[in-house]
Amino acid sequence: MGEVSLRKNYLQIAVDGPAGAGKSTVARAVAEKLGIFYLDTGAMYRVIAAKAMEIGIPVEDEEKISELAERTELRLEHNAGKRIWCGGVDYTDKIRSPEVSRVVPVIAAYPRVRKRLVFLQRREAELGSVIMDGRDIGTHVLPQADLKIFLTATEEERARRRWLELQAKGQNLTLPEVLADMKNRDQKDTERVESPLAAAADAWVFDTTGLAVPEIVDQIVASVKILSRQGK
């Protein structure tokens, strides 16, 4: 982690954007190139959603879901595995189902859930250099991040990417179904009262439609190197 030395002696990169914009793919690749920790904040919300579904808490029960989040401890692996654990159980592969995806926007809008997970995210960010992706990282979680990126793409492109991911995992939703889910998620994310999806005023907004991941990654890494030389 020590190659980049900025004002906090470690690096913070915030990557935001809607579902399917390429946040996780890009952030993982940047983390690998820079040798820093990648934190998928969306996975944290997904664990709460999956756990609530497992124990039968209705998604509309804000009080019980908030209480669940407040007593939940998450363990994130900082090694190559990038697994996420809750209560001694590996949730990494449990949280990517369409069912969890549909529930997450509702749970993520609950203020107490967000407060708890933002606390955990900031605690992770204090451990060293990190690139963190989500929907309110640059605006709320890490407002003082050294570099803020907002990735976007057309709805059709984002739905196609997510559909291909689901197909590869054997989940046979149709492309129109995925597009409808994505539009619903976008609406909930942008209209929620608590930390809505938006680009930070000082974020670099990048449309990834039709672009290859390596091109985006290289530009972000180049920006980090410029920041490092400037000693920001």
Q: Is residue 17 classed as helix, strand or coil in its secondary structure?
A: coil
170 backbone dihedrals φ, ψ, rounded to 5°: 80, 15
pLDDT band for position 80 (cuts 50, 70, 90): low
The pLDDT assigned to 127 comes to 86
16 is a domain residue: yes
Nearest to 83 by CA among 95, 93, 73, 92: 92
pLDDT band for position 6 (cuts 50, 70, 90): very low
The pLDDT assigned to 1 comes to 28
2 is a domain residue: no
Structure tokens at 148: 């803020």
Give residue-wise pLDDT tens across range 93-131: 889 888 898 899 899 989 999 999 999 999 988 888 999
Q: What is the CATH number of the domain that holds 196?
A: 3.40.50.300
For strands 84-86 and 89-90, give the pairing: antiparallel
Structure tokens at 55: 């124990």
Round to whole Å and give the CA distance between 107 and 60: 8
Q: Which long-range CB contacts under 8 A does 29-35 form with residues at least 24 apart?
A: 29/213, 29/214, 29/217, 30/131, 30/217, 30/220, 30/221, 30/224, 31/131, 33/217, 33/221, 34/3, 34/4, 34/129, 34/131, 34/221, 34/224, 35/1, 35/3
pLDDT band for position 229 (cuts 50, 70, 90): low
Give the distance, in angstroms, between the CA of residue 48 and the centroid of all CA atoms in the same chain. 14
* Predicted TM-score of the model (pTM): 0.83
Structure tokens at 183: 């539009």
- Mean pLDDT score of the chain, rounded to an integer? 88
3 is a domain residue: no
Q: Which domain holds residue 53?
A: 12-230
> Is residue 232's pLDDT more than 80?
no
Give residue-wise pLDDT tens across range 210-219: 888 898 899 8
Q: Is residue 195 classed as helix, strand or coil in its secondary structure?
A: coil
202 is a domain residue: yes
Round to whole Å and give the CA distance between 70 and 45: 12
Q: In what order do the strands lie in the sheet with 74-76?
A: 74-76, 84-86, 89-90
7 is a domain residue: no
The pLDDT assigned to 197 comes to 87
Nearest to 47 by CA among 82, 80, 96, 88: 96
133 is a domain residue: yes
Domain count, the chain: 1
6 is a domain residue: no
> Is residue 86's pLDDT more than 50?
yes
213 is a domain residue: yes
